[in-house]
Chains A and B, each alone.
Chain A
Amino acid sequence: MAVVLFRNTQAAIRAEQVLQSVGVQGKLIPTPRQLSAECGMALRFPRSDSERVRTLLAQAGLTFQAIHEL
């Protein structure tokens, strides 16, 4: 699994939509405590989709804080 960290929850919600629209399995979860994050919601997705997620978020103009592999 991997997670994308965002700077606010609204960006996380939008990212979930973006992923869902192309069939990538994204789930909003509480930000794992060991990861330093600016907001309480993170988007978890299959690690194998990491590159695809990066591209999708860039195309949607969504800034994210980081992508971490769990």
Chain B
Amino acid sequence: MIYLDNAASGWPKPPAVGQAMAHFMEQVGANPGRSGHRLAVEAARTVYGAREDLATLFGANDPLRIVFGLNATEALNLALLGLLRPGDHAITSSMEHNSVMRPLRALQRQGVELSIVHCSPQGVLDPLAVEAEIRPNTRLIALIHASNVVGTLLPVSAVGRIARRYDLLFLVDAAQTAGAYPIDVEAQDIDLLAFTGHKALLGPQGTGGLYIGPRVALDELRPLVRGGTGSRSEAEEQPDFLPDRYESGTLSGVGLAGLAAGVRYLLDEGVARVREYEVELTRRLLAGLQRIPRAILYGSGDAERQIATVSFNVAGLQPSDVGLRLDEEFDIMCRVGLHCSPGAHRTIGTFPGGTVRWSLGYLNTVDEVDAALDALDKIARG
């Protein structure tokens, strides 16, 4: 079987991830942040280790600024619903995933003004076009780091500089890039970074979170969920410090044990090396796709300007038919359709039919890429 759906969920995971989770289930098990007994301390250490490793990965100097939650979608909802008030203005791009667009559209109906900056059909964003949208009441710029449809990287550093210059907050959706592409929240002027554990971070589903930088005033970021935090227990008010303010209820200790193992694996390999490998694989894939006569390729066509995610169609075939044949005849797993990003498909010109998406991960191989190209070639020839 060839798994080319890493943009949906990274798989397989390094063996250490499952091992860490099994160890937690069998040897640790306790609630990570409540009691003071030895097992609870062990569980709390596990969670803290995950915070630390993610802080290192993202260039954040304080692990307590990493707030954990269910996934990147929840983190994005926290940032958007927590910060934006009626009368505020927010700027975003035309390549966003629904985890950014749906909260923004709901906020728009409540009186938040929204500007959507158009990207080119290749998914490229001009930072100056973002700057041109800034108004006196602009509060926030929210951008996807790299498109989950065509992989194109957005100019996060340039937009971060702009946001800083105008004293705006900058939210980056790193669901597709965390673990696969270098991120430095300080150097890139990122105030809020949403990440998910189960894609390129190689952890399990059910983990993710939000980095909250020092320019975000906590009293201006409303918690999504309030409840028990294992702190300030004599008070019935939500704590006002990190990470507790945004972490109510029991965290997934087992999930974070797995995520910590995934992140540690990436830190050992080095994100630069992961990136280099994925660029090579993407380059090979793009070159192969360009040789298939009826294949229509989307995106920039340049492996350096994108992550390892590629969208294409086969002229004359529905994406769903291509996907089904890849699965049934060739045992190749991928995702077809609109990929929860209708805006991105509108931008690249594939709405409403969608595309076939192949998304590679660090554990994919050259042989798998070649075999997939071979399979597509057969399908394209009919």
| Residues on A facing B (Cβ under 8 Å) | 7-14, 28-31, 38-42, 61, 63
Are A14's CB and B48's CB within 8 A? yes
Q: How far is the CB of A45 from chain B (nearest CB, A)?
A: 15
* A7-B241, A8-B33 known; A41+B41 contact, CB < 8 A: yes
A14 to B229, CA, bound (A): 17
Cβ-neighbour of A10 out of B33, B34, B36 (below 8 A):
B33
A31 to B231, CA, bound (A): 12
Q: How far is the CB of A34 from chain B (nearest CB, A)?
A: 14
A-contacting residues, B254-277, CB 8 Å: none
A12 to B44, CA, bound (A): 9
| Residues on B facing A (Cβ under 8 Å) | 32-37, 40-41, 44-45, 47-48, 51, 62-64, 229-234, 239, 241, 243-244
Q: How far is the CB of A26 from chain B (nearest CB, A)?
A: 12
Are A8's CB and B229's CB within 8 A? yes
Q: How far is the CB of A32 from chain B (nearest CB, A)?
A: 10
Contact partners of B231 in chain A: CB under 8 A:
7-9, 38-39
Are B234's CB and A28's CB within 8 A? no
- In the complex, which of the residues B41, B229, B243 has the most CB atoms of chain A within 10 Å of its own CB atom? B41
Contact partners of A7 in chain B: CB under 8 A:
231-232, 239, 241, 244
* A8-B241, A10-B48, A28-B41 known; A40+B64 contact, CB < 8 A: no
Other CB < 8 Å A-B pairs besides A8-B231, A9-B34, 18 of them? A8-B230, A8-B241, A9-B33, A9-B44, A9-B230, A10-B44, A10-B51, A10-B64, A11-B64, A12-B44, A13-B45, A13-B48, A14-B48, A38-B231, A38-B233, A40-B36, A40-B40, A42-B36
Are A38's CB and B232's CB within 8 A? yes
Q: What is the count of residue pairs linking A and B with beta-carbon distances less than 8 angstroms?
A: 64
Across the two chains, which residue of chain A brings its CB closest to B32?
Answer: A9
Listed by A's residue number, 30 A-B pairs whose Cβ atoms lie within 8 Å are: A7-B231, A7-B244, A8-B33, A8-B229, A8-B231, A8-B241, A8-B244, A9-B32, A9-B44, A9-B231, A10-B33, A10-B44, A10-B63, A10-B64, A11-B64, A30-B36, A31-B36, A38-B231, A38-B233, A38-B234, A39-B230, A39-B231, A39-B233, A40-B34, A40-B36, A40-B230, A41-B40, A41-B44, A61-B62, A63-B241
